A = this chain, B = another copy of it.
Amino acid sequence: MIQENKNILQKNAPIGVFDSGVGGLTVAREIMRQMPNEKIVYFGDTARVPYGSKSKETVTRFSKQIVRFLQTYQVKTIVVACNTASAFALEELEQETDIPVIGVLKPGAKTAAEVTRNGKIGVIATEATIGSKMYSYYIKELNKQVTIYGKACPLFVPLVEEGLWEDPVTDEIAKRYLTELIDIDIDTLILGCTHYPLIRSTLGRIMGEKVTLVNPAYETAMELKALLMEKGLLNGEHPKLGENQYQFYVSDGAEKFKRFANSIIKYGILSAKTINIEQY
């Protein structure tokens, strides 16, 4: 009976999702779509964004603080909805806590390894994620025959945040970054940064129809669902009227976050609160 109550409590508990800023909302959005009964506590580290140009030590220290913060909400699992944090910090985070921690790299790597036909996979991501070589590592674990080509695209995040999702400048920069991947004849491209799905149509147009674009946000939500089902933790009931299904926290600029978030998530973000993450 106690065990049963505990399970009901846990099923009802929220999922913690975090990112360096707004990008992880593309992952949160997929979780909302695929698991409409789940509650989410989202944290965006807007005071220290971006992570993609920073070191493993720093990103790991920041990520640990965030995990400690999310645990104050008794989350039943944590999704690291940031490629850089997943690449640098996942293993250490798994050691920090007893609850399952899911990153975005493994699910993306798995799909890419499955869908490639010619064995040539491209990865576009931040400098940090590319430098970590973790996508290669996860893909090679599944399929030693493939070759992975990584390309850092540092200007994509500022271009997306500036709103230039469809713009000649974004086209020009994308062509520069992607030319070598096109020349190598990759047939699969992992969008290895949570901002990139927002310029998916530009990327798809430049890469051409023959290249499959892999969006780890989608794959991560799928893996999360499988994990929750396996552990009997999927929430069977929709949150009651008046319950706060989605909670958003940031380390800076809650109002600005809300505006950007509302352009990504159609559910409407009622409120976002600023907290001092350095205290955790």
Q: Does A201 contact B (CB under 8 A)?
A: no
Contact between B47 and A58 (Cβ–Cβ < 8 Å)? yes
Q: Does A229 contact B (CB under 8 A)?
A: no
Q: Does A169 contact B (CB under 8 A)?
A: yes
The smallest C-beta distance from A74 to any residue of chain B, in angstroms, reads 26
Give the oligomeric copy count.
2
Contact between A54 and B253 (Cβ–Cβ < 8 Å)? yes
CB < 8 Å: which of B46, B158, B172 contacts A54? B46
Residues of B near A159 (CB, < 8 A) are 155
Contact between A162 and B169 (Cβ–Cβ < 8 Å)? no
1/0 per residue A197-222: CB within 8 Å of B? 00000000000000000000000000
1/0 per residue A150-170: CB within 8 Å of B? 000011011101100000110
Known: A54-B47, A251-B58, A253-B55. A169 touches B158 (CB 8 A): no
Q: Does A48 contact B (CB under 8 A)?
A: yes
Q: Does A173 contact B (CB under 8 A)?
A: yes
Name the residue in A54, A61, A162, A251 with the highest tally of chain B Cβ atoms < 10 Å from its Cβ: A54
Residues of B near A154 (CB, < 8 A) are 158, 161-162
Residues of B near A57 (CB, < 8 A) are 252
Which chain A residues numbered 7 to 62 have a C-beta less than 8 Å away from chain B? 46-48, 53-55, 57-58, 61
The smallest C-beta distance from A271 to any residue of chain B, in angstroms, reads 17
Q: Does A278 contact B (CB under 8 A)?
A: yes
Residues of B near A47 (CB, < 8 A) are 48, 54, 58
The smallest C-beta distance from A181 to any residue of chain B, in angstroms, reads 18
Known: A155-B159, A155-B162. A252 touches B55 (CB 8 A): yes
Query: CB-nearest residue of chain B relative to A252?
Result: B58
Residues of B near A253 (CB, < 8 A) are 53-55, 58
Per the bound structure, the CA–CA distance linking A154 and B58 in Å amounts to 24
Residues of B near A173 (CB, < 8 A) are 169
CB < 8 Å: which of B53, B54, B278 contacts A278? B278
Per the bound structure, the CA–CA distance linking A253 and B274 in Å amounts to 27
The smallest C-beta distance from A131 to any residue of chain B, in angstroms, reads 10
1/0 per residue A58-94: CB within 8 Å of B? 1001000000000000000000000000000000000
Sample 8 A-B pairs with CB under 8 A, ordered by A number.
Answer: A46-B54, A48-B48, A58-B253, A61-B276, A154-B161, A154-B162, A168-B172, A169-B173
A→B interface (CB under 8 Å)? 46-48, 53-55, 57-58, 61, 154-155, 157-159, 161-162, 168-169, 172-173, 251-253, 256, 274, 276, 278
